[in-house]
Amino acid sequence: MISIENERLSRQIHFLLEIDGLKQVLRRSLILGSSRRENSAEHSWHLAMLALTLHEHANEPVDLLHTLKMLLVHDIVELDAGDTFAYDFAGGKTKAEREEAAADRIFGLLPADQASELRGLWDEFEARTSAESRFANAVDRLMPMFHNLADGTTTWQMAGVLPQFVADRATAIEEGSDALGELAGQILRQAQADGLFGG
């Protein structure tokens, strides 16, 4: 590793190299074509593209740049905490604690002002208290539904996920976008008709 004399730049580069590890964090969702599992870095990029393309459907006006920043940082904690499958109810009990510790460490690599900004974005996403965070959560919950329906080979089947579990999780989509919430309902109905659930 090159020695960087500028301390601020050194911390920024350290952070950027550290989060490269997100490319190794595998999610449960398969990429389209079902050839392999999606990684967390790919997931964050694709969500940013969803927000860029679909933000006109948000229930409230959103600051697109703010929303994109939030989506780019929302899963950085998975570097330490791993990806907790949405329907892993046992793992979900410790998820918040693991992710808080990860946020402290990873964002703490940055200079204090940037650490505060990025940690704030992560906290905002988790809290779902702003228009931007509600819309960001909507696209975060919608994308795996696309993945599961598009190929007809689903993580829902493999994990024994019931339709009601997906419907319960999809309610947050409507908080950010009525139009995307309606689309999620259509996906759910089609997935049920196609027999894409476990149980």
Task: Please tell me the distance from the alpha carbon of residue 6 to that of residue 3, in angstroms, as a whole number.
Answer: 9
Task: Please tell me the distance from the alpha carbon of residue 161 to that of residue 138, in angstroms, as a whole number.
Answer: 20
DSSP at 39: E
DSSP at 31: P
Widest Cα–Cα separation across the chain: 61
Q: What is the CA radius of gyration of the chain?
A: 17
Q: Is 65 helix (H, G, I), strand (E, B) or coil?
A: helix
Structural contact between residues 91 and 85, judged by C-beta atoms closer than 8 angstroms = yes
pLDDT at 153: 62
The residues facing 113 across adjacent strands are: none
Place of tokens 């990029």: 45
Task: Please tell me the distance from the alpha carbon of residue 115 to that of residue 69, in angstroms, as a whole number.
Answer: 13
Structural contact between residues 188 and 145, judged by C-beta atoms closer than 8 angstroms = yes
pLDDT at 28: 86
- Look up the pTM and report it: 0.93
Neighbouring CB atoms inside 10 A of 84's CB total 20
Closest CA to 83 of 98, 71, 67: 98
Structural contact between residues 37 and 28, judged by C-beta atoms closer than 8 angstroms = yes
What does the pLDDT profile of the chain (199 residues) look like in tens digits? Answer: 678 999 999 999 999 999 999 999 999 888 887 778 899 999 999 999 999 999 999 999 999 999 999 999 999 999 999 988 878 888 889 999 999 999 999 999 999 999 999 999 999 999 999 999 999 999 999 998 988 888 776 788 878 888 888 899 999 999 999 999 999 999 999 999 988 887 6
Q: Within 13 Å of residue 66, how many CA atoms lie on the same side as its CB?
A: 14
DSSP at 1: -
Domains and CATH numbers, the chain: 7-193 (1.10.3210.10)
Amino acid at 154: T
Amino acid at 75: D
pLDDT at 31: 84
The per-residue pLDDT for range 116-134, each reduced to its tens digit, is 999 999 999 999 999 999 9
- Residue 32: which residues within 8 A CB-CB, separation 6 or more? 147, 150, 151
Q: How many residues does the chain have?
A: 199
